[in-house]
Amino acid sequence: MTHDKTAVSLCEIPHLSITSKMPCYSFSLPALTTCPTGRELIKSPDSPCHHCYGLKGRAVFPVVKEKKFRNFVLFQDLKNFVAVLSDEITKANCPLFRWQDCGDIISLAHLEAINQICINTPKIHHWLPTMEAEIVKRFLSDNQNFAENLTVRLSSKKVDRVPGYKWQFSSMIAKKRLLKNFNSKKYFVCQAKQWGGKCWSCTACWNFQGIIVYPIH
């Protein structure tokens, strides 16, 4: 998958995050507080959550934590959450959007709210990575369909373990020495580390039908 190094200029928006890696806005919530599965997995050294980037580095800066808390307060009223985020994402006018660069979905109602925001912003391609496969299953079992512009990517719960989901979009993390094992067409190994820690124009997380493999942080 090719990429170009065209910089994307983003301005500050109240509830949206700007990360140095991605060419788009994202939305974040406090780590662990909003991670039903992650709260258990963090205890296990062989889980991705044990290496959670939401608990170290820039993620623990006061200004970053303050925005996550502000988002958590907004999130308590899901009707208002849908209205505010639909408006902010529309005004951001960026073709891509990432959900949960920190935190996860915590309930069926939360997932339904995200799906509604995606419906309200049809020109934006949304990506939602999640550990909460059971919530996704409940959403689908209620005969609900995800918005056409939403890619829900289910994450493996173990480092180096290929996810066993019967779902066309999934992801895993792996140790560097094992990356050579993932060279078939069903895998895409994230190249951000080779590209200076940036995605640039790569949109595999949104578009690749298969398993994204991320080198462990």
**Residue 20: what pLDDT?**
83
**pTM > 0.75:** yes
Closest CA to 154 of 142, 172, 138: 172
**Pairing between β-strand 25-28 and β-strand 17-18 as defined by DSSP bridges:** antiparallel
Per-residue pLDDT of the chain in tens (217 residues, 90 and over written 9) = 545 544 445 678 999 998 888 989 999 999 989 999 999 999 999 999 988 878 888 778 888 889 999 999 999 999 999 999 999 999 999 999 999 999 999 999 999 999 999 999 999 999 999 999 999 999 999 878 999 999 999 999 999 999 989 899 999 999 988 888 898 899 999 999 889 989 999 999 999 999 999 998 6
Query: Is residue 136 within 8 Å of 155, Cβ to Cβ?
Result: no
What are the helix (H) ranges across the chain?
38-41, 62-75, 78-92, 108-120, 133-141, 204-207
Q: How far apart are CA 168 and CA 113, in angstroms?
A: 22
What are the helix (H) ranges across 1-93?
38-41, 62-75, 78-92
Q: What are the φ and ψ backbone dihedral angles of 145, each rounded to 5 degrees? A: -110, 145
**Residue 10: what pLDDT?**
65
Q: How far apart are CA 40 and CA 157, in angstroms?
A: 11
Where in the chain are the domains? 17-156
